Amino acid sequence: MHPPLQVMSSKILAVFILVTAAVLILLHLALAMGWVWAFDVDSSRHTWQLFIILGACFPATSAIVFWKETRFTNSVYALSAIWLGYSLYVAMAVCLTVIGTLAAGALGWQTSPQPLMVSLLVGASAYSLYGLWNAWNPIVKKVTVRISGLPPAWQNKQVVQLSDLHLGPIHRQRFASMVVKKANAQHPSAVFVTGDLFDGGGLELDKLADPLNQLQSTYGTFYITGNHETYVGVEKSLQALANIRLKILRDEKVEVEGLQILGIEYPLPNQKKDVGPALALLDRNRPNIVLYHEPKFINEFRAAGAHLVLCGHTHVGQMWPFGYITRKVYHGYDYGLHTEGTFNQYTSSGVGTWGPPMRTGNRPEIVVLMLERAS
């Protein structure tokens, strides 16, 4: 028997908090050592305590907003998330200072690490500020996709993909309203929300999702779950969408004006996904669009005769240099359009952010897909 979903979500969060806290505290202790060395400051007990607190603040505030979400706890969580992102580039500054100073010493140059450290910290601060601005200013990315046998009703029409909004303690109704306004400006025939609509809170999901009622399209909005819905609780997430005008697809297919739309839901953390039964619903000889949150099962989608698969999840690493990791993990399918014969697959970088509200490795995007009939 599976444990209740909310209990399971709490256990997952507890494990995440403990592991993340341990890793971040160790990293911050290493950061403290570099800080003390570079600036030749007193390595007192208070210095170590400060860096331990800084290392623990993000996982601690993640737990707080999960169980008790208020305007104050959301604000504290946002600040700790910003520090988490900024600390990455502070750590890089410290590492480069150590490397640069050691290299200078090896060349016989007598130099103080402080000027280099200050310069790199200024660069880290500027880069982080850019990341903050970038995260709140998604672009509209336009892509042309050619689908075999596309029905007349969909030819030369635009559809919008919204992925990874991560509505929660940081991205609130105002952010969702901004995204909806930009999506509506494209006059889409349909809107596809490909998972991670919610983030990690859970007490005001219905209010956070309310702006989605303003989405305007010819054939409606279609939604699938992502991994973050399984953390918040799938049923809780779907209950919050009960009054939202969208079609929730849970391993289901609908047909709209001759186009098959198949939505495959994300597995629970203790489950292994088998996409075979859902893909069996497709008529491979007729045009279709498949929605799945993560760019996995590419071979299965291709073999099943999928014409266009829409994914998200990766954020393309969200912050440099993690994009190199997502590219390796997802074998190049972590971002962009991939076309192989009649098979098309697009992975969005997503609209929102998880953790640090920063984007330094890529642009957040609202994807506009122009559908054309393949010759």
CA distance 20 to 55: 9
Return the closest-CA partner of residue 260 out of 279, 238, 244: 279
Cα–Cα separations (whole angstroms), residue 286 to 220, 233, 289, 304: 21, 35, 10, 12
Share of residues in the chain with pLDDT > 70 (%): 96
What's the pLDDT score for residue 47? 81
Burial (Cβ within 10 Å: 0-12, 13-18, ≥19) of residue 247: middle
What's the pLDDT score for residue 20? 85
Q: Are 96 and 144 part of one and the same domain?
A: no
Return the closest-CA partner of residue 152 out of 70, 257, 242: 257
Look up the domain containing 250 and give its range.
140-373
Q: Calculate helix-pair angle for 45-67, 71-106, nearest 10 degrees.
A: 140
CA distance 108 to 268: 58
Segment 299-313 mean pLDDT = 98
Burial (Cβ within 10 Å: 0-12, 13-18, ≥19) of residue 236: middle
CA distance 62 to 342: 43
Segment 133-162 mean pLDDT = 97
215 — pLDDT class (breaks 50, 70, 90)? very high
User: Where does a domain end: 134, 164, 192?
Assistant: 134
Q: Could you give the number of structural domains in the chain?
A: 2
CA distance 135 to 131: 6
What's the pLDDT score for residue 8? 46
Q: Are 10 and 112 part of one and the same domain?
A: yes
Q: Which residues are bridge partners to 194 per DSSP?
A: 224
CATH of the domain at 261: 3.60.21.10
277-298 pLDDT, tens digit per residue, is 999 999 999 999 999 999 999 9
Cα–Cα separations (whole angstroms), residue 28 to 92, 122, 367, 374: 12, 19, 37, 54
**Higher pLDDT pick, 10 / 23:** 23
Q: Are 120 and 206 part of one and the same domain?
A: no
Q: Does pLDDT of 6 surpass 70?
A: no
Q: Are 105 and 170 part of one and the same domain?
A: no
Q: Are 210 and 297 part of one and the same domain?
A: yes
Q: Are 57 and 177 part of one and the same domain?
A: no
Q: 3-state class of 75 per DSSP?
A: helix
Q: Are 52 and 170 part of one and the same domain?
A: no
Q: Are 44 and 66 part of one and the same domain?
A: yes
Return the closest-CA partner of residue 167 out of 84, 128, 88, 223: 223
Q: Which residues are bridge partners to 338 per DSSP?
A: 345
33-78 pLDDT, tens digit per residue, is 888 887 877 777 778 888 899 998 998 888 888 777 888 989 999 9
Q: List, in order, residues 6 or more apart from 52 with CB less than 8 Å away.
A: 25, 28, 29
CA distance 7 to 314: 26
Q: Are 116 and 156 part of one and the same domain?
A: no
What's the pLDDT score for residue 13? 64
Q: Are 201 and 230 in contact (CB under 8 A)?
A: no
Q: Are 126 and 169 part of one and the same domain?
A: no
User: Where are the strands (E) in 79-175, listed by range?
Assistant: 139-147, 157-162
- DSSP track, 185-240: TT--SEEEEES--B-S--SSHHHHHGGGGG---SS-EEEE--HHHHHH-HHHHHHH
User: Where does a domain end: 134, 165, 200?
Assistant: 134
Q: Are 299 and 338 in contact (CB under 8 A)?
A: no
Least confident of 127-131, 199-203, 273-277, 319-323: 199-203
Token pair belonging to 300: 């299965």
Segment 125-148 mean pLDDT = 98
Highest mean pLDDT among 107-121, 189-203, 247-261: 247-261
Token pair belonging to 69: 């979400």
User: Where does a domain end: 105, 134, 163?
Assistant: 134
Q: Does pLDDT of 139 surpass 80?
A: yes
Q: Are 100 and 154 part of one and the same domain?
A: no
Q: Calculate helix-pair angle for 113-135, 5-39, nearest 10 degrees.
A: 150
Q: Are 250 and 323 part of one and the same domain?
A: yes
Burial (Cβ within 10 Å: 0-12, 13-18, ≥19) of residue 150: buried
